[in-house]
Amino acid sequence: MEDLKEGYLYKIRARNASFGIWREEKGSFIISRHKFGMNYLFEEYHYDMPAFATARPIEEIGDSLFSEEDMKITPGKGYSADKNILKYLNGFDTK
């Protein structure tokens, strides 16, 4: 996990996605999740984390250009730039 870069996009092997943006603070990747006809941002935890950890990084793609502020979660409102992040992630292949 120490080799991963904050805010960078990675190709990942995970339960719900093939690409994710690394969030060091959470030990997780922000992903675009599709479930029951809905599409929303979700966190998949790195496989070295203790609980529900499914995401394994495969390849660094590059800087997502989203700031730490963009990726902060506001209770009841989600991520600060959620529509932009979702659109960005949906531009890549997902499961």
Can you tell me the distance from the alpha carbon of 15 to that of 55, in angstroms, rounded to the nearest whole number? 7
In-domain check, residue 35: yes
- Amino acid, single-letter form, for residue 59: E
The whole-model pTM stands at 0.85
Q: Which residues have a Cβ under 8 Å from the Cβ of 43 and sit 6 or more positions away?
A: 23, 26, 28, 29, 30, 31
Residue 28: domain span: 8-90
Can you tell me the distance from the alpha carbon of 71 to that of 66, in angstroms, rounded to the nearest whole number? 7
Torsion, Cα 18 27 36 32, to 10 degrees, reads: -50
Displacement of CA 48 from its chain's centroid (Å): 16
Per-residue pLDDT of the chain (95 residues; tens, 9 = 90+): 789 999 999 999 988 889 999 999 888 999 988 888 888 888 888 888 877 778 999 999 999 988 887 777 665 555 545 788 889 999 986 44
Q: How many structural domains are present in the chain?
A: 1
In-domain check, residue 2: no
In-domain check, residue 1: no
In-domain check, residue 29: yes
In-domain check, residue 24: yes
In-domain check, residue 59: yes
In-domain check, residue 3: no
